[in-house]
């Protein structure tokens, strides 16, 4: 059960939570564990008015687990942070496809922690989709079929720069179950995404493309298991990549949207 000391209001009845009057940097260890449990159960957790430096962002994120590092940061930006930035020079923004962060890693991310400092006057929302409900709303026959499958997840071109590698061949693909089990809750979730999944291993190319398209449409049009977060300055949003996909709306050009993301290493996905 969710730690009762963490008060929140639901974003939708079954998905998403917004914390009420909290200061993350003052959380004790029990509250940090409660936050991890809340993210596992409700997928997305929003905290408003969180003023912190990049160093404080990293310090808090390290309490959530081991962090991925970005080898391409410039200046004094901590290596554990990924800069999220778009402005009048941007022709696209990161995260415009429905995806789970860097699922091409053999051990993909668990929790992501994004803090926005500058946001547009309107637009720039992030949409989130609950992969537990996405799985549970499929037919029983489709659920049983998908639980027998695995998929190859490939590194994409935009991740080449972020990784520091010189060519995509240096970044290996990873194979994960199409349905994975969350280690905290034991709930099953759909784990293929348009951003990184290349092919379902057990199917022919044509079969794989057709099934993935069906599943991607199910995710994109499944408004009953989605929520939308409107950013404000100093908003922090946590999402659990094991059970959540997200899509960043790039509808604010030429305004500025800027912040930092810390990403916690998860574990190798399994179905049990």
The catalytic residue positions are 99, 101, 246, 261
Task: Encode pLDDT of 181-196 as tens digits.
Answer: 999 999 999 999 999 9
Residue 39 has pLDDT above 70, yes or no: yes
Q: In the chain, what percentage of residues exceed pLDDT 70?
A: 92
pLDDT exceeds cutoff 60 at 13 = yes
Q: Is 120 exposed, middle or buried (0-12, 13-18, 19+ CB in 10 A)?
A: middle
* DSSP β-ladder status, 109-118 and 81-86: unpaired
Query: 210, 90, 102: which is closest to 156 by C-alpha?
Result: 102
Domains recognised in the chain with CATH numbers:
8-265 (3.60.130.10)
For residue range 94-124, list pLDDT tens digits in order: 777 899 999 999 999 999 999 999 999 999 9
Return the H-helix or E-strand segment holding 10: strand 8-10
pLDDT band at 4 (very low <50, low <70, confident <90, very high): very low
Does the pLDDT at position 3 exceed 60?
no
């Amino acid at each position: 059960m969710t730690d009762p000391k963490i008060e929140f209001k639901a974003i939708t009845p079954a998905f998403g939570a917004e914390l009420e009057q909290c200061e993350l940097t003052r959380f004790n260890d029990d509250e940090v564990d409660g936050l991890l449990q809340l993210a596992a159960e409700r997928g997305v957790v929003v905290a408003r008015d969180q003023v912190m430096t990049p160093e404080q962002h990293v310090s808090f994120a390290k309490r959530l687990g081991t962090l991925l590092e970005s080898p391409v940061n410039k200046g004094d930006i901590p290596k554990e942070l990924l800069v999220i930035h778009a402005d009048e020079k941007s022709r696209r923004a990161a995260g415009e496809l429905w995806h789970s962060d860097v699922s091409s890693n053999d051990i993909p991310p668990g929790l992501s922690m994004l803090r926005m400092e500058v946001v547009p006057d309107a637009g720039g929302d992030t949409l989130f989709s609950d992969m537990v409900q996405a799985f549970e709303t499929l037919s029983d026959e489709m659920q049983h079929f998908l639980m027998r499958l695995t998929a190859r997840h490939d590194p994409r071109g935009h991740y080449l720069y972020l990784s520091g590698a010189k060519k995509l061949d240096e970044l290996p693909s990873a194979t994960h179950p199409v349905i994975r089990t969350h280690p905290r809750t034991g709930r099953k979730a759909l784990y293929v995404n348009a951003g990184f999944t290349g092919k379902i291993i057990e199917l022919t190319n044509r079969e794989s493309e057709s099934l993935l398209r069906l599943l991607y449409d199910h995710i994109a049009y499944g408004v009953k298991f989605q929520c939308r977060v409107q950013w404000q300055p100093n908003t922090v949003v946590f999402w659990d990549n094991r059970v959540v996909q997200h899509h960043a709306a790039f509808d604010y050009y030429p305004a500025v949207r800027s912040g930092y993301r810390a990403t916690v290493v998860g574990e190798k996905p399994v179905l049990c």
